[in-house]
Amino acid sequence: MMIETNSSLKAFNTFSIDAKTKTLFHFKNMTQLSELLTVVKAVRSENRPVLILGAGSNILFCEDFSGLVIRVELTGVDIIASENSYLLQVAAGENWHQLVTHCIDNGIDGLENLALIPGVVGAAPIQNIGAYGSEFKDFCESVDYIDLQTGECLNLSAAQCLFAYRDSIFKSKTMENALITKVTLKLPRKWQANSRYALSKSAESGLEITAQTIYDAICQTRNDKLPDPEQYGNAGSFFKNPVVNQKKAAQLLKAYPKMPHYPQADGQVKLAAGWLIEQANLKGKTIGGAAVHQQQALVLINQNNASAADIFQLAEFVRITVKDKFKVSLEPEVRFIGCQGETNLTEVLNDVRA
């Protein structure tokens, strides 16, 4: 069914929060565009919000959604091979990890560091997903999208996407009407390894270092450390890794010489949010049905029928505890969605504390 009313969103968010939306549109192919635009116009004429949803792997629904949820379910992968590279044109609704696996299985290497990142392809440029030294921007050629306000089908080059750490132009106010339909990736045929962690894992096991062995090492690590959303609802990494100036990094390293830290090109230093949370003794901390995961402190889980309030109160507790101990502020990766659209996390948490 293409359009549903008063529909549950529990199956469409990895936290498994049982919120409902007044209208749900399953956007499966471009032939539906005219009807989709008509529905968007009607919803907005009633001053109700519109939310574009992929796999729901980076979302927390605070309450029922009063407007229209567009679930992007576009599929299709076209691969064009040339002498020096592969060009991948991938529909926004394709599962990201399945794309990575398909490439590795077919000798198209380069995406292995990004294995097992949850979500769909269309969400990858918004967040500029990344792991183990690689980011989406490293492979992006362009992004196609629909402007839901005008109905135009448009394209942005990688440079125009303004990619940054867990950020892109798609998070800006000017792009709030952008529904991503397709991404184009470029992978060089001449492969080079790019993962210090996975390289060391491969060396330890005595295996030849290939894209496949790196892929296998990363999948094993993620499976060992990260909870299965089918068992415990979660959104993967809840907080971004904070970036601090050199003076602050030096102060922390003096107190904690073994603290993981990663110098950046601009002179700042990235810290490991998971390490900070763990050092604050927060592994296993619970509020209501929400908990800090025992194996990976960067992940908050729906351990026992947690409410959205449980999860964001736990997030606030983690944020305050880390701030008090290290004087470092954690910023969430997760988007908090309320009945009037997207809600700023700080505002929500301040409301809860009040």
Q: Do 237 and 342 have their domain in common?
A: yes
What would the pLDDT profile of 39-85 be if each residue is shown by its tens digit? 999 999 999 999 999 999 999 999 999 999 999 999 999 999 999 99
237 is catalytic: yes
Long-range contacts of 256-260 (CB under 8 A, 24+ apart): none
Q: Do 31 and 91 have their domain in common?
A: no
Q: Do 159 and 260 have their domain in common?
A: no
| pTM given for the model | 0.87
Q: Do 242 and 348 have their domain in common?
A: yes
| 52 located within any domain | yes
| 203 located within any domain | no
| 201 located within any domain | no
Q: Do 46 and 123 have their domain in common?
A: no
Q: Given 168, 202, 333, 335, which residue is catalytic?
A: 333
Q: Which domain holds residue 52?
A: 3-72
C-beta of residue 94 within 8 angstroms of C-beta of residue 75:
yes
C-beta of residue 177 within 8 angstroms of C-beta of residue 167:
no
Q: Given 141, 166, 278, 331, which residue is catalytic?
A: 166
Q: How many alpha carbons lie under 13 Å from residue 4 in its C-beta half-sphere?
A: 13
DSSP 333: S
Please give the tally of structural domains in the chain: 3
Q: Do 307 and 348 have their domain in common?
A: yes
| 214 located within any domain | no
Q: Do 94 and 144 have their domain in common?
A: yes
Pairing of strands 20-27, 65-72: parallel
CA distance 154 to 259: 44
| 177 located within any domain | yes
Q: Given 237, 316, 319, 335, which residue is catalytic?
A: 237
* Strand order across the beta sheet in which 178-188 lies: 77-81, 85-91, 178-188, 140-147, 153-157
| 222 located within any domain | no
Amino acid at 149: Q
Pick the closest to residue 240 from 314, 166, 346, 135 (CA basis): 166
What would the pLDDT profile of 146-167 be if each residue is shown by its tens digit? 999 999 999 999 999 999 989 9
Q: What is the pLDDT along the chain (354 residues), one digit of tens a residue?
A: 689 999 999 999 999 999 999 999 999 999 999 999 999 999 999 999 999 999 999 999 999 999 999 999 999 999 999 999 999 999 999 999 999 999 999 999 999 999 999 999 999 999 999 998 899 999 999 999 999 999 999 999 999 999 998 999 999 998 999 999 999 999 999 998 886 665 655 556 667 788 998 999 899 988 888 898 889 999 999 999 999 999 999 999 999 999 999 999 899 999 999 999 999 999 999 999 999 999 999 999 999 999 999 998 999 999 999 999 999 999 999 999 973 334 444 444 444 333
| 227 located within any domain | no
| 57 located within any domain | yes
Of 157, 188, 219, the one marking the end of a domain is 188
| CATH number of the domain that residue 124 is part of | 3.30.465.10
166 is catalytic: yes
Of 155, 188, 221, the one marking the end of a domain is 188
CA distance 290 to 294: 12
